[in-house]
Chain A
Amino acid sequence: MADEIFEYAPAPESRAVVSLRSSYDLFIDGEFTPASGEERITTLNPADEEPLAEVAVASEADIDRAVRAARRAFEEVWGPMPGAERGKYLFRISRIIQERARELAVLETLDNGKPIKETRDVDIPLAAAHFFYHAGWADKLEHAGLGPAPRPLGVAAQVIPWNFPLLMLAWKIAPALATGNTVVLKPAETTPLTALLFAEICQEAGLPPGVVNIVTGAASTGRALVAHPGTDKVAFTGSTAVGREIARTVAGTDRRLTLELGGKGANIVYDDAAIDQAVEGVVTGIFFNQGHVCCAGSRLLVQESVAEEFLPRLRARIERLRVGDPLDKNTDVGAINSAAQLARIRDLAATGEQEGATAWSPACDLPERGYWFAPTVFTGVSQAHRVAREEIFGPVLSVLTFRTPEEAVLKANNTPYGLSAGVWTEKGSRMLWTANRLRAGVVWSNTFNKFDPASPFGGYKESGYGREGGRHGLEAYLDG
């Protein structure tokens, strides 16, 4: 229908705001410094497979250097500094992120493939908000409920994923610094660039050397960092498989650990839900950020009595999603972050069809170059199907139905994960009844995929442990 009214014209955001260097070194002790080895990683724009820049691969020796710099900064500068002064550095960083927001947004979209609409309106503003929120905690830690004089742990080893690169950096660095810790952070192999720009922001803010160290690399770099005995704390966001490995590495030591891992979130739509709002929420729940979201609502549980009405409206809405150039301000769904992730999504989607579920995708032209996967909805899915059990981490929704609220809760909880869930109903008591029974760390009712620095985020069961954000998030970086 809309097609008959007008066509969208391209509305690309300019790349000119970003000035990329061809090659980046490690950021250790306040300076960009060459890695000890020759190995480099080329990071691509997943939307066209064009190389963006080369980054260094940190070796064990480089990690050791970064940890020692962080230790020195902790003992000599950052630890002894009054909280109010620490807080002012974080306020300053928050302000610079706001000032350079467009540059960060474009760079994030280039490196990650997500739509500029999201980096501009979600990732970057939330990253700035995270620093602003935690800055205010730095001189009030005695009110955090962890005792009269909580102490920082020391040096935090932090490893983050590629789905929200700068935002995950903010989730890790802001609370660590506010509580008086120093950090060594490893950004993801495929999305290192905004972290390196953040290193420049630390310089611009005059942050003392060694308080923040950024080491780039792949899995071996991450492994060396989380295993380093000179760190007091490990914080990881990523897959459950890697989370298990890290938990094993940290076991038996005195080092603390928080993990934010995978999910298979259920979005429950009751028969009395406001259907249009629920359709919007289900679409946001799975297609936001191409479904590269650990808390994605990747399982739709719709009450049988409204399924026939709901699903055509859902499909009609998905047909309106614009898939394509991430820098285009009209784009809803961008590129898949990497060839490896695309292969995984394709493999699981193929399994869905082999196991007898029915796949549907809207007619949409995908660009020839780059990594793309059309929004996909599986119906005829049973709880035993892999597409209903495994985290796909892509724009793939599995639809199941239920008859009673008890059945909805049973199916929603029938997963080893427990990160997020959604509830759609106009009846308050039913919403609260359901929310009480869902074994998930975040329950969005009549909304989905909302994030805020004041709101604790994290999982139950095999979605990890510890919380990020809010008063609760401080606990991960303090000894009571």
Chain B
Amino acid sequence: MGKDDKTRGRARAVREPAAQPARLVVRKTYKLYVKGAFPRSESGRSYPVTSPDGRHLANAALASRKDARDAVVAARAAFAGWVGRTAYNRGQILYRVAEMLEGRRAQFVDEVAAATGGDRRSAETAVDAAVDRWVHYAGWSDKIAQVAGAANPVSGPYFNLSTPEPSGVVAVLAPQDDPLLGFVSVVAPVIATGNTAVVVASEERPLPAITLAEVLATSDLPGGVVNILTGRTAELAPTLAAHADVNGLDLTGAGGLAAELEQSAAATLKRVMRPRPAPDWAAKPPIERMTRFLETKTVWHPIGV
């Protein structure tokens, strides 16, 4: 996006000197990311995304409740395959995401700077941290069972083993302020352990998430493991909170809707992560980001000859 900043906005493009045969920049259409593909909203709607200083950046898809339900179907369909991968394989794929993101570092620095209105230096720091976060969780996928599991010394002749398993489909309301590092920090822990996700991107700053979808799509991450919706959090979140085929709900980006959404999620007994006040996305993440969306399965078997 950075390269076409100079020509963005029709008014400015018209004022370019006619004598200069500048090549017309090909702009990107920002769409949703569902089931490994990039559809427009089924509603046909879009909304303008602007930088904090009011510059028009792009039109993003304005996802509908139907898009949210379609994304849940895609996430559910992808779950058995993703949880069935070995933890090592999931780790390799998450590391591949880090590789792909690193390779497009400059592009993401531009996008993050444009979305947040911050300087390039802080955008660079955020992108580097986002790459490192994928690496961090790539290493978690085959450790979490040893850290969160247990062999239990029951008082009888039984083998007794507890292992963590993913809850299933997790709906994630990504943080509103931090469009890349914050987004990665809530999505990577959910899928590292084998869940699949439907993520509602930052409402005002959705573009880096959709560009990240291009990274995910080229990292051998199976389609449907991460589905990304852009649009109004207040429109999409209630559908996800009430959806009977969603097992977990991360309310990080819910803002003032959090209590109401948690009440709605109670009807289907979802695992809920409540929003924390002023999270520091640069800090080392707590293990709760993973364990909140894990179940413990305990298997018993008699010991005998």
A441 to B163, CA, bound (A): 10
Binary per-residue interface labels of chain B (262-275) against chain A in the complex, 1 for a CB within 8 Å, 0 otherwise: 11011111011000
Q: Which residues of B contact A292 (CB under 8 A)?
A: none
Q: Which residues of B contact A443 (CB under 8 A)?
A: 297-300
**B258 CB-CB contact with A under 8 Å:** yes
Q: A464-B269, A470-B150 are in contact. Are A435 and B299 (CB under 8 A)?
A: yes
A454 touches B152 (CB 8 A): yes
Main secondary structure of the interface of B (DSSP, over half): mixed
A467 to B119, CA, bound (A): 46
A14 to B12, CA, bound (A): 96
**B14 CB-CB contact with A under 8 Å:** no
A445 to B299, CA, bound (A): 7
- Which of A444, A452, A467 has a CB less than 8 Å from the CB of B296? A467
A209 to B286, CA, bound (A): 37
Q: Which of A259, A418, A460 has the most CB of B within 10 A?
A: A460
**A455 CB-CB contact with B under 8 Å:** yes
**A450 CB-CB contact with B under 8 Å:** yes
**B44 CB-CB contact with A under 8 Å:** no
Stretch at the interface among B19-27, B60-68, B127-135, B154-162: B154-162
A452 touches B269 (CB 8 A): no
Q: Which residues of B contact A471 (CB under 8 A)?
A: 150
B154 touches A244 (CB 8 A): no
A441 touches B296 (CB 8 A): yes
CB within 8 Å of A: which of B217-240? Answer: none
**A-B CB pair tally, cutoff 8 Å:** 108
B259 touches A244 (CB 8 A): no
Smallest CB separation, B102 vs chain A (Å): 32
Smallest CB separation, A98 vs chain B (Å): 14
A435 to B160, CA, bound (A): 13
**B214 CB-CB contact with A under 8 Å:** no
Binary per-residue interface labels of chain B (289-305) against chain A in the complex, 1 for a CB within 8 Å, 0 otherwise: 00000011111111000
A259 to B259, CA, bound (A): 19
- Which of A129, A243, A431, A458 has a CB less than 8 Å from the CB of B301? A431
Smallest CB separation, B21 vs chain A (Å): 60
Q: A452-B156, A460-B295 are in contact. Are A247 and B301 (CB under 8 A)?
A: no
**B13 CB-CB contact with A under 8 Å:** no
Smallest CB separation, A189 vs chain B (Å): 23
Smallest CB separation, A282 vs chain B (Å): 16
A287 to B65, CA, bound (A): 46
**B193 CB-CB contact with A under 8 Å:** no
Q: Which residues of A contact B298 (CB under 8 A)?
A: 441-443, 455-457, 470
Q: Which residues of B contact A310 (CB under 8 A)?
A: none
Smallest CB separation, B147 vs chain A (Å): 7
Binary per-residue interface labels of chain B (147-180) against chain A in the complex, 1 for a CB within 8 Å, 0 otherwise: 1101011111010101000011000000000000
**B280 CB-CB contact with A under 8 Å:** no
A50 to B167, CA, bound (A): 46
B154 touches A454 (CB 8 A): yes
- Which of B266, B299, B302 has a CB less than 8 Å from the CB of A247? B266
B160 touches A472 (CB 8 A): no
Q: A460-B295, A471-B150 are in contact. Are A447 and B266 (CB under 8 A)?
A: no
CB within 8 Å of B: which of A130-183? Answer: 145
A248 to B262, CA, bound (A): 7
A446 touches B302 (CB 8 A): yes
- Which of A247, A438, A452, A470 has a CB less than 8 Å from the CB of B155? A452
B296 touches A450 (CB 8 A): no
A441 touches B269 (CB 8 A): no
Smallest CB separation, B146 vs chain A (Å): 11
Q: A251-B259, A252-B262, A452-B154 are in contact. Are A145 and B147 (CB under 8 A)?
A: yes
Q: A247-B266, A248-B263, A464-B269 are in contact. Are A447 and B301 (CB under 8 A)?
A: yes
A467 to B265, CA, bound (A): 20
**A380 CB-CB contact with B under 8 Å:** no
B269 touches A454 (CB 8 A): no
**A349 CB-CB contact with B under 8 Å:** no
Residue of chain A at shortest CB distance from B163: A436
Q: Which residues of A contact B168 (CB under 8 A)?
A: 439, 461
B263 touches A456 (CB 8 A): no
**B288 CB-CB contact with A under 8 Å:** yes
- Which of B162, B247, B300 has a CB less than 8 Å from the CB of A447? B300
A438 to B295, CA, bound (A): 12
B299 touches A456 (CB 8 A): no
Q: Which residues of A contact B (CB under 8 A)?
A: 129, 145, 240, 243-245, 247-248, 251-252, 259, 261, 416, 418, 431, 435, 438-447, 450, 452, 454-458, 460-462, 464-465, 467, 470-472, 480
Q: Which residues of B contact A (CB under 8 A)?
A: 147-148, 150, 152-156, 158, 160, 162, 167-168, 244, 247, 258-260, 262-263, 265-269, 271-272, 286, 288, 295-302
Nearest 7 pairs between A and B by C-beta? A252-B259, A247-B266, A251-B262, A452-B154, A248-B266, A251-B263, A454-B152
Can you sample 10 A-B contacts with CB below 8 Å? A145-B147, A251-B262, A441-B298, A442-B299, A443-B299, A455-B162, A456-B162, A460-B167, A470-B162, A471-B150
